[in-house]
Amino acid sequence: MRARSYSPLTLCFTGFTWLTLGSILGLAILIGLVRGTPLPSWVRSLHVHATLIGGVAQIILGGLLLLVAPPESKTNLESDARPFTFWALNGGVIGMLLGFWLHHDLVVGIAGFAVIAGFLSIIRGIWTRARLAWNSSFGPSWYYALLFFGLVGGSICGALLAFGIFPEHHGYVRLAHIHLVVLGFVTLVLIDMMHQILPTVWSTTLAHPRLVRLTTIFLAIGVVALIGGFLNSSVPVEMIAGAVLFVSVGLLIGNLFGTWLSSAHTGSAASDHLLVSTFFLLFTVLLGILIGANNLSSPPVLPYGTLHLVAYTHMAFVGFIMNATMGACSHLLPIALAARRVAGHKKRTLYCDQLTAIMNRGRSIQVATLSLGTMGIGILATLTWNVPLSSIYIHTTMWTCFILLLTSFLLFAIKLTTMVAKQPEPLASHHESSPTASPS
């Protein structure tokens, strides 16, 4: 296979495949939980690692490569071949999933180190490219050092768990593994990508550029403090950190909302998903503070069980992370595909507009079904305070959430497939027989 088959586009499309498979597993887990027939715990491990590592992390890293060095020609994109990164990441994920299935922790640990090697390989490329942009608009180096530490540090903690190192501190290592990756990497990097993508989509600059630096500092402080609170099992520290995050995200939304109002842009799939994701992030932070307050009382004011934890976490995982990921893909993938397939600037711009138009089809339905399905999971959890799991209301809500979320995924997948199949009109006959027509 030729080197050009391992471009950042390959990482993004492969990541979406993992994301889809992991999400289907997640829906199956939810159905089993509500019906009182929970699936084995190893299935949950498959769901989490396929979705977050194979899916979200791979898409984000591929997207970062496209952001720090936007492709301007076929040559530039094809020269960015990363076969080691691709096989280390995806081979490692497959190995981890096999290890979970076979209950073989050694396999999980070895595969985890393969994934870490893939992360380090792509981080090196991103860091090298981004240094040239840090003096302009890409972001301060300390911020990216922090989020890459979250990704690698959290992954190393996962390997320590698999090898059974520090068994007396298993709970703390597990908390670090989860929160370093989710909060320290995914959350911080998606927020930064919003600041880069949305002004570009709206063809304007941020309403208050200086506010971004202040927001970035407080976000980092809040995330570090929140992780520290989790590791120390200190609910007051978690609530204080949550308050810092709430103010920071509020400033972020205010800045982005003001920028949107001042622009003449009518909206797109990218901007819709990214804007909605910010509100889910703010809502999730607020819910976290309320959950902390609930846990401070003895006994808790409201019972808080497994289904409530699932609903809360998926407000962030689906409402924030999924919306933001879909938004970033809706903006970056048409640009990258156009750069790969068309050499001339004028024709490339026209072709990119055609691909973007495909991604914008049915955007209201796509955003609405994803958001309503996410909120439905929260409603499902709150219903358990008043009715039993066997209630018709519970099951109706569950299947409604299933249909809504599946509709959004299918619509997005169909548009991705249509976009990949769409060839530049003047060159359509050539690409039908050309092996380089593949996006990956």
**184 phi and psi, to 5 degrees?**
-70, -25
Of the chain, the percentage scoring pLDDT greater than 90 comes to 62
Of 95, 130, 165, at which residue does a domain stop? 130
Q: What mean pLDDT comes out for the span 367-394?
A: 93
Q: Let me know if residue 387 belongs to a domain.
A: yes
Q: Is 289 exposed, middle or buried (0-12, 13-18, 19+ CB in 10 A)?
A: middle
Distance, CA of 432 to CA of 288 (rounded, Å): 52
Q: What is the 3-state secondary structure (H, E, C) of the chain?
A: CCHHHHCHHHHHHHHHHHHHHHHHHHHHHHHHHHCCCCCCHHHHHHHHHHHHHHHHHHHHHHHHHHHHCCCCCHHHHHHCCCHHHHHHHHHHHHHHHHHHHHCCHHHHHHHHHHHHHHHHHHHHHHHHHHCCCCCCCCCCHHHHHHHHHHHHHHHHHHHHHHHCCCHHHHHHHHHHHHHHHHHHHHHHHHHHHHHHHHHHHHCCCCCCHHHHHHHHHHHHHHHHHHHHHHHCCCHHHHHHHHHHHHHHHHHHHHHHHHHHHHCCCCCCHHHHHHHHHHHHHHHHHHHHHHHHHHHHCCCCCCCCCHHHHHHHHHHHHHHHHHHHHHHHHHHHHHHHHHHHHCCCHHHHHHHHHHHHHHHHCCHHHHHHHHHHHHHHHHHHHHHCCCCCCCCHHHHHHHHHHHHHHHHHHHHHHHHHHHHHHCCCHHHHHHHHCCHHHCCC
Q: Let me know if residue 425 belongs to a domain.
A: no
Distance, CA of 326 to CA of 365 (rounded, Å): 14
Q: Let me know if residue 254 belongs to a domain.
A: no
Distance, CA of 238 to CA of 252 (rounded, Å): 21
Q: Let me know if residue 144 belongs to a domain.
A: no
The C-alpha R_g of the chain, in whole angstroms, comes to: 22
Q: Is 323 exposed, middle or buried (0-12, 13-18, 19+ CB in 10 A)?
A: buried
- What is the structure's pLDDT at 114? 96
Lowest mean pLDDT among 74-88, 155-169, 259-273, 311-325: 74-88
Q: Let me know if residue 281 belongs to a domain.
A: yes
Structure-token pair, residue 407: 């509709």
Distance, CA of 319 to CA of 291 (rounded, Å): 18
User: Does the pLDDT value for residue 330 go beyond 60?
Assistant: yes
Distance, CA of 24 to CA of 45 (rounded, Å): 13
Q: Let me know if residue 48 belongs to a domain.
A: yes
CB contact at 8 A, 161 and 174: yes
Of 130, 161, 194, at which residue does a domain stop? 130
Residue 409 to residues 235, 239, 270, 402, Cα–Cα distance (Å): 36, 34, 15, 11
383-429 confidence digits (pLDDT tens): 999 999 889 999 999 999 999 999 999 999 999 999 999 988 764 44
215-246 confidence digits (pLDDT tens): 889 999 999 999 999 888 889 999 999 999 99
Structure-token pair, residue 85: 């990164």
User: Does the pLDDT value for residue 133 go beyond 70?
Assistant: no
- What is the structure's pLDDT at 136? 47
Q: Is 167 exposed, middle or buried (0-12, 13-18, 19+ CB in 10 A)?
A: exposed
Task: Look at the block and give the residue holding tokens 């909605």.
Answer: 276
Of 130, 153, 188, at which residue does a domain stop? 130
Say how many domains are in the chain.
Answer: 2
Task: Report angle CA 358, 364, 367 to the nearest 5 degrees.
Answer: 95
Distance, CA of 381 to CA of 191 (rounded, Å): 28
- What is the structure's pLDDT at 107? 96
Question: Which structural domain range is residue 85 located in?
Answer: 1-130
* Confidence grade of residue 440 (pLDDT, cut at 50, 70, 90): very low
Structure-token pair, residue 83: 């076969």
CB contact at 8 A, 202 and 271: yes
- What is the structure's pLDDT at 169? 85
Q: Let me know if residue 177 belongs to a domain.
A: no
Structure-token pair, residue 75: 């040559």
253-309 confidence digits (pLDDT tens): 999 999 998 888 778 999 999 999 999 999 999 999 999 999 888 888 888 888 899
Q: Let me know if residue 349 belongs to a domain.
A: yes
1-50 confidence digits (pLDDT tens): 344 457 888 999 999 999 999 999 999 999 998 888 889 989 999 999 99
Lowest mean pLDDT among 137-151, 168-182, 382-396: 137-151
